[in-house]
């Protein structure tokens, strides 16, 4: 395990959409090491309530222009439970405990010109850094920037318009953004996977969001013959492979077995998952 633990001061905590915030943590070594698709665990310092941390995907790293290198970690979170409520109330200058980088990150979509990223709910959060890496705007984890694909499309589904968070960030990063909403208040009225199927097939799919959406995406990918990787949003307790609270079923040569999402994922080849 190559993760480290940090006491990370907060340098920004700003609202992006309804109940959705971006928090920026000063953690230069972590920012230099982390890659798109990996995650960090955040815990309140000097507190046993809540006792455990919570996983958060990397949204992007923050580059200090004077130093010319990444010094911060940006995380986007929806306020849904105790830790995220506490996070939303933290001011600049406060600090949190952080450990990372954790998980495997997104694989290269080898041979693909056009990649589609499919997000539901708060599942858009791993995709900003991913877009920048795919289009060669940024290198992560010490890698030199390298363009991997020609086009990235983001299909992003939300319950309602005011929950769409970071849309301008994704557009500014160079993605073509297609929105869908359950209530029709923005974009396509209906499921994001139904919007995806109306468009030309990409050569590789990545997905992150609620399990029913991921299952629908996996089925669509299989039917259209498109390679697909999914980032799972499984609840986690330790984040480092010790507690087995995050297991998911994967296919094996003689049936199926459990894998720990925190260390074997969170990104899995969709065809390996046992739904």
- CB closer to ligand FES out of 53 and 227: 53
Letters for 186-225 (x = contact with ligand FES by CB under 6 A, - = none) are ----------------------------------------
- CB closer to ligand FES out of 24 and 260: 260
Residues 252, 228 contacting (CB under 8 angstroms): no
CA–CA dist 275, 273 (Å, integer): 6
- CB closer to ligand FES out of 176 and 245: 245
CA–CA dist 269, 275 (Å, integer): 13
Dihedral sign from CA coordinates of 108, 110, 114, 118: negative
227-266 residues in contact with ligand FES (CB under 6 A) are: 236-239, 241-246, 260, 262
CA–CA dist 34, 70 (Å, integer): 10
Q: How far is the CB of 133 from ligand FES (least distance, A)?
A: 25
Q: How far is the CB of 172 from ligand FES (least distance, A)?
A: 33
> Closest Cα partner for 69 from 39, 36, 33, 106?
33
CA distances 138 to 132, 217, 231, Å, are 5, 28, 21
Q: How far is the CB of 51 from ligand FES (least distance, A)?
A: 14
- CB closer to ligand FES out of 86 and 237: 237
Binding site for ligand FES (CB under 6 A): 236-239, 241-246, 260, 262
């Amino acid at each position: 395990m190559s993760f480290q633990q940090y006491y990370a001061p907060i340098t920004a905590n700003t609202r992006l959409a309804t109940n959705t915030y971006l928090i920026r943590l000063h953690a230069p070594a972590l920012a230099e090491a982390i890659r798109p698709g990996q995650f960090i665990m955040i815990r309140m310092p000097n507190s046993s309530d809540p006792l455990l941390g919570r996983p958060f995907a990397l949204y992007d790293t923050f580059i200090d222009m004077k130093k010319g290198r990444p010094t911060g970690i940006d995380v986007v979170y929806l306020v849904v439970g105790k830790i995220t409520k506490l996070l939303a109330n933290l001011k600049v200058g406060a600090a949190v405990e952080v450990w990372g980088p954790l998980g495997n990150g997104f694989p290269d979509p080898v041979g693909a010109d056009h990649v589609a990223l499919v997000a539901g709910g708060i599942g858009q959060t791993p995709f900003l850094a991913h877009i920048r890496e795919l289009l060669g705007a940024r290198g992560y984890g010490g890698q030199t920037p390298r363009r991997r694909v020609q086009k990235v499309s983001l299909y992003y589904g939300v319950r309602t318009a005011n929950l769409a968070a970071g849309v301008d960030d994704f557009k500014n990063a160079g993605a073509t953004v297609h929105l869908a909403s359950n209530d029709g208040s923005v974009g396509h009225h209906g499921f994001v996977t139904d919007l995806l199927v109306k468009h030309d097939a990409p050569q590789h799919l990545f997905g992150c969001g609620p399990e029913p959406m991921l299952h629908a995406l996996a089925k669509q990918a299989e039917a259209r013959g498109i390679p697909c990787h999914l980032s799972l949003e499984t609840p986690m307790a330790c984040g480092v492979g010790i507690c087995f609270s995050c297991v998911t079923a994967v296919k094996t040569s003689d049936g199926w077995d459990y894998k720990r999402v925190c260390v074997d994922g969170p990104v899995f080849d969709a065809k390996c998952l046992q739904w």
